[in-house]
Amino acid sequence: MKTSLTPQHLEALRRIDACSLANAIETFEVRLRNEGFTSGATRCLFPQLRPVVGYATTVKIRTSSPPMGARPYLDRTDWWDYIQSIPEPRIVVVQDISSKIGLGSLLGEVHISILQALGCVGAVTNGTVRDFPGISDLSFQLFASGLAVSHAYAHIVEIGTPVEMDGLPIKSGDLLHGDIHGVQTIPTEIAAELPAAVARITARERELIALCRSPDFTVEKLRAAVAAKNA
């Protein structure tokens, strides 16, 4: 997989919060406004960390039932090779397709340490994570439905196939952005233009907010400012 985005492009995107980024994406009309982001069931576990940006590397797992055959927990080392085929920075996306989603977790201190060593900066799962005290100081962002006690029967069943995460379809190689608000995909064809679009929108919003907080506020001034903004 090749990408035309430079490290500078990615760093510029990383400086943008999710809501401002979503506002900017809307202005390009490349997708419907009710698409491209998680719905809220998958929550950010480290809201104090800065936004995370990276290319998705996908995997499907099961945790609530034993694998076919007596394979050990760290059975799919070929997954590590696949991860390294995706450009850095990488965000691992783990869809639990178990009958009891999140009963066990693949993502604990051991696996997260491995992923971080492989150039991953975060992970997203519809399931759970574990070993929370051990991962809290790694500066590795996580989005999950909650925490789990055990890895149970966690095992990998598919690598690199499309997944769905809290209503958001994700393919390996998709550019992802996430922060306290949630996760969204960034259309790569407009990615380089988004920081400038965010700056324009933010400047207009600051003007409206300043007016609303001003002692000289009137509804007439607000209507005029909104009309000028939309002109």
pLDDT tens profile 85-100:
999 999 999 999 999 9
pLDDT number for residue 1: 62
Give domain 7-188's CATH architecture.
3-Layer(bba) Sandwich (3.50)
* The pair of three-digit structure tokens given for residue 157, joined into one six-digit string: 């069943």
* The pair of three-digit structure tokens given for residue 91, joined into one six-digit string: 């965000």
pTM over 0.85: yes
pLDDT number for residue 68: 76
Kindly tell me if the per-residue pLDDT of 70 is higher than 60: no
Taking residues 3-29, report their average pLDDT.
96
Taking residues 41-57, report their average pLDDT.
97
pLDDT number for residue 119: 96
pLDDT number for residue 2: 60
Kindly tell me if the per-residue pLDDT of 71 is higher than 70: no
Kindly tell me if the per-residue pLDDT of 231 is higher than 90: no
pLDDT number for residue 73: 55
Mean of per-residue pLDDT scores for the chain: 94
Percent share of the chain, pLDDT over 90: 89
pLDDT number for residue 77: 86
pLDDT number for residue 136: 94
pLDDT band at 65 (very low <50, low <70, confident <90, very high): confident
pLDDT number for residue 67: 83
Q: How far is it, in rounded angstroms, from Cα 28 to Cα 197? A: 9
pLDDT band at 167 (very low <50, low <70, confident <90, very high): very high
pLDDT band at 141 (very low <50, low <70, confident <90, very high): very high
Kindly tell me if the per-residue pLDDT of 75 is higher than 80: no
pLDDT tens digits, residue range 206-229? 999 999 999 999 999 999 999 987
Domain boundaries, the chain: 7-188, 195-229
Taking residues 136-153, report their average pLDDT.
96
